[in-house]
Structure 1
């Protein structure tokens, strides 16, 4: 039996889990968000060294069962000592930078109850193609827990061939009170970023013939309901006269999925740059994506269907020609279920991508959801709420609900904020709150003068907060959010080089003194000027060596041969890539672009100031 290392910290939580008043940077939100009283909790790191923990479940053995996305391991963690025991290592899991790998986990209620149902259910991605040309798909698999060997055995594939890709695979697996399995599938990020030209199928439903052939291609952007053997339940909704596994549709990236005590199914999904959603899932419900983000209000979202655009039309064209389909939300005439809440809806003049990139956009990136009722002895401040872990903010948002749980009341309250990416939350007996963190990625910066960072303080860990214990934590002194105005005052001026500032000396020069990058400029001289600016402006996402799991790989990238492509991307942004046209001068962008085009195996010459000016 393989045992993982013991990783237990006997003292209080490491200093990087405590944020004091002297280090006041935090996430940016459109309006101030109240912060909870974190001094009500003691805190410590329970365990570390996990390979991107994704889903946690409290087992009948009073242990934490957790999936590790990138290692393909199911691990059992002692909630007191933090010791780890591997129960299963998948040999066929396909892992990518962000969304592929071992994802959801559900435990059968009869596990270890002498019922003969010692089963666990997992969702993960496999590669149906080659290493050079991957073709991922998703499947749900059942394993049996063998108490004698303390291992998971007897693999049974319940359903395979479901959509998967390099983005937005969702992957939550939930065991319902009706003894059915619920599974969330994202829309693989189609019509966005690197998948811009791929058709988004979140609103496309299967035909009866496709269901009969077990062709699940239209299951993207859906929540499924399955029998425990993977078949279609007889009482699933008929949608457009076809019964399939589909329970609801029109979702973007539904990473949060959980039942409340009253049987209500709650869901949280990622929005594009605004309008993360909190929903109640109704059988047969249409949730609008990609035609609608949040509510039908025509605020800061326009559906541009790039899969029907001519190949010679660039996504950076401004204005777009009429030949590119552009559909306001108000033109959607479907019968849509509105969200309980959005995080956050803003007007069209909000500076999307202009503060610190996507980390500062008005979304929180909800990665899981947990309905919570305090009862007589629980966490009273969280009673009758849903808990949402956030990737961008490293914060547990607590959203209060109405008495019947069918409406959100007010804005959420921010709790337990650290410089991490929170992936899942578990509330266990004795008011213990466990939060799993990603092993890498970008998040709001809580220390120093910046606004975003790729330095996570507790990567690949489970953090333990215990309610009602005196822990001496100063977490309660953390500012939970900054408004746009505060961010501009406190962050932009110090985060990024000032226009016409020499990054080597920090001294400002007059515009007339800035030497434009010309076709005959000495490449290495321009590279020397662009390098420090890249380090300050771009390396957080792309990595100091041009390679990162959080953004496009720049090293040995043949796309950089096209000077116009480089200039347009930096000026206007692309997908998750923010627009820097309003923050940097033409020459600064030319210098950064020249550095990128001539580093890490690239040798493509200068990007000129005129190239950038033409891109504007």
Structure 2
């Protein structure tokens, strides 16, 4: 049995930026670390002269994770237990869409991100990520263990004209190898505009995978780039001994990703206790985890790596300590908030906030936070009319529409 989401809910709240609360005044966890360059962390706080109006257009979603707008203004929304729904203005949420694969919904796993291309009106093709279960009997035979192994996977298919089912569904990417873990699947999907799909993965938060993040014979803790129907994309870096899907390595858990105004991929990944990172991953480069980090262990002890810098490893464009626990990301491109044009909008889970970063010449020059303590924000998108759409991570999650107030 699935939980039935309510057809429509309208809940209005008003709120300006959280900049009246000086979030930069909170002391860091890693007190002995210093940034590599000016404004790599704790950029000046941005101020706005208006409030935000937030409307819940749907509620009762069970841990919603990803969303994508369709040309008619409706939205596809995923729920982590394995459901995808279609929200239509005026008629609310559909029943679960049929034709999806089974998912491993334990822990942080399940049905995760979803994207559609600019040509959706003609093709009706969509892509989605999920945690793929290895059957229990195979785990017992191959691993002599009774906890099932799983991995991040990506599927594609055609949404039927009536929006009730996915046809010609096929899996086009499977992370190697299977891992016994219920955490850190990554799973953001970004179409690169050049006929390829970026897929983010996580380090799987397991002792057996710690060393794998820095190795290129696997997909653990990587950004991968695949063709739209599967296989490595043309133009990927050639890495000696590496899997051909790999774009970049050394990532912890990437749950925020988007194309920036510069046409490049930008990501934000979870750090441990401190050390959430904004990066602009480039082909073939190493982003350091778990060797370098601006975080510390959850115990409060330093990490067992090389500190915050090492030759051959990239510095983050920006980092947070304390963490925001990032999930979801979009660059603003719309008319409703012209002051935010080109700014990055990032969901905060632990911080329970919407983060805005202003970038100048590829560096962060200001930060603002909005809707503080309202909810754990799982995903962020910009609607075609310029409104901001948010998903809240909760057993009774909501699809929110954020518009300009007074």
Q: Normalising to structure 2: TM-score of the pair?
A: 0.83
**How has the CA–CA distance of structure 1 residues 100 and 154 changed in structure 2, closer, same or farther, with 3 Å as cutoff?**
same
Residue deviations 1:449-489 (CA, integer Å, cap 9, x gap):
xxxxxxxxxx411122112x45xxxxxxxxxxxxxxxxxxx
Q: Deviations over 1:224-264 (max 9, x none)?
A: 00011211124210123645100001000011111123311
Query: What CA distance in whole angstroms lies between the structure 2 residues aligned with 1:41 and 1:19?
Result: 6
User: Residues 139 and 363 from structure 1, CA distance in 2 versus in 1: closer, same or farther, beyond 3 angstroms?
Assistant: same
| Residue of structure 1 aligned with 2:200, choices 163, 166, 184 | 184
Tell me the SS of whatever aligns to 1:202: helix
Tell me how far 1:35 sits from its aligned partner: 6.9
Distance 1:382 1:30, change over 3 A: farther
Deviation of the 1:25 alpha carbon: 12
- Candidates 203, 227, 230, aligned match of 2:214: 203
1:356-371 paired onto structure 2 within 5 Å: 362-371=322-331
Partner of 1:90: 100
8 Å CA contact 1:38, 1:415 repeated in 2: no
Deviation of 1:338 (Å) = 1.6
> Which stretches of structure 1, 4 residues or longer, exceed 6 Å deviation after superposition?
17-21, 24-28
Please report how far the alpha carbon of residue 4 of structure 1 lies from its aligned counterpart in structure 2 after TM superposition.
Answer: 5.7
Q: 1:30 maps to what in 2?
A: 27
- Structure 2 residue runs of 5 or longer lacking an equivalent are 29-41, 138-145
Matches within 5 A, 1:280-295: 280-294=280-294
Larger CA deviation: 73-82 vs 135-144: 73-82
Shift in Å, 1:67: 1.2
CA distance in 2, matches of 1:319, 1:94: 33
Q: Which residue of 2 aligns with 1:340?
A: 317
Question: Distance in 2 between the 1:419 and 1:149 partners?
Answer: 32
**Alpha-carbon distance in structure 2 between the residues aligned to 1:373 and 1:292:** 34
Distance 1:36 1:422, change over 3 A: farther
Indicate whether 1:401 and 2:359 are aligned. yes
CA distance in 1: counterparts of 2:95 and 2:351, whole angstroms:
30
Structure 1's 161 and 40: CA in aligned 2 closer, same or farther, altered over 3 A?
A: closer
Correspondence for 2:307: 329
The worse-fitting range, judged by mean Cα deviation, of 102-111 and 74-83 is 74-83
Residue in 2 that maps onto 1:558: none
Q: Are 1:127 and 2:64 counterparts?
A: no
Structure 1 position 30, deviation (Å):
3.0
What is the CA distance between 1:27 and its match in structure 2?
Answer: 10
Structure 2 residue aligned with 1:154: 168
Once the 2 structures are TM-superposed, how far is the Cα of residue 271 of structure 1 from its aligned partner? Answer: 0.8
1:138 paired with 2:152, answer yes
What residue is the counterpart of 2:34 in the other structure? none
Cα root mean square deviation, aligned: 3.3
1:62 to 69, 73, 83: 73
Structure 1 residue 102 displacement after superposition: 0.7
Q: What whole-Å deviation, never above 9, does each CA across 1:401-452 have from its counterpart, x for those lacking one?
A: 01x4x22113x11112233110001111333211101115xxxxxxxxxxxx
Question: Is the CA contact (8 Å cut-off) linking 2:187 and 2:201 kept in structure 1?
Answer: yes
| 1:110 positional shift | 1.8
Please tell me whether the aligned partners of residues 125 and 139 of structure 1 are also in contact (alpha carbons under 8 angstroms): yes
The structure with the greater share of residues assigned to strand is 2
- Matched with 2:384 is 429
| Alpha-carbon shift at residue 7 of structure 1 (Å) | 3.3
- Structure 1 residues 134 and 371: CA distance shift in structure 2, 3 A: same
The answer on whether the counterparts of 1:187 and 1:200 sit within 8 Å (CA) in structure 2 is no
Q: Using the alignment, how far apart are the partners of 1:127 and 1:243 within structure 2?
A: 22
For the 8 Å contact 2:328–2:378, the answer to whether it is kept is yes
Q: How many residues align?
A: 379
Matched, 1:46 2:60: no
- Rounded Cα–Cα distance in structure 2 between residues aligned with 1:10 and 1:331: 48
- SS in structure 2 of the partner of residue 56 of structure 1: strand
1:400 deviates by: 0.4
Match of 2:141 in 1: none
* Greater Cα radius of gyration, structure 1 or 2: 1
Contact persistence 1:367–1:424 (CA under 8 A): yes
Shift of residue 146 of structure 1? 1.6
Task: Give the deviation of 1:85 after TM superposition.
Answer: 4.3
The 5 Å alignment of 1:120-519 reads 120-130=126-136, 132-148=146-162, 150-163=164-177, 165-191=181-207, 199-206=210-217, 218-240=218-240, 242=242, 244-294=244-294, 301=296, 326-329=304-307, 332-333=310-311, 335-344=312-321, 362-374=322-334, 377-402=335-360, 404=361, 406-410=362-366, 412-440=367-395, 459-467=396-404, 469-470=405-406
Q: Please name the residue that 1:515 is paired with.
A: none
Contact 1:4 1:86 in 2 (8 A): no
CA shift in 2, pair 1:167/1:399, >3 Å:
same
Q: Name the structure with the higher helix share.
A: 1
Tell me, in whole angstroms, the C-alpha distance in 1 between the residues paired with 2:99 and 2:243: 35
Which has the larger displacement, 224-233 or 197-206?
Answer: 197-206
Given the superposition, is the C-alpha separation of residues 4 and 159 from structure 1 closer, same or farther in structure 2, using an over 3 Å criterion?
same
Cα deviation code 1:255-305 (max 9, x no counterpart): 1111123311100001111111011111111100000114xxxxx648xxx
Q: How far apart, CA to CA, are the structure 2 residues paired with 1:43 and 1:85?
A: 25
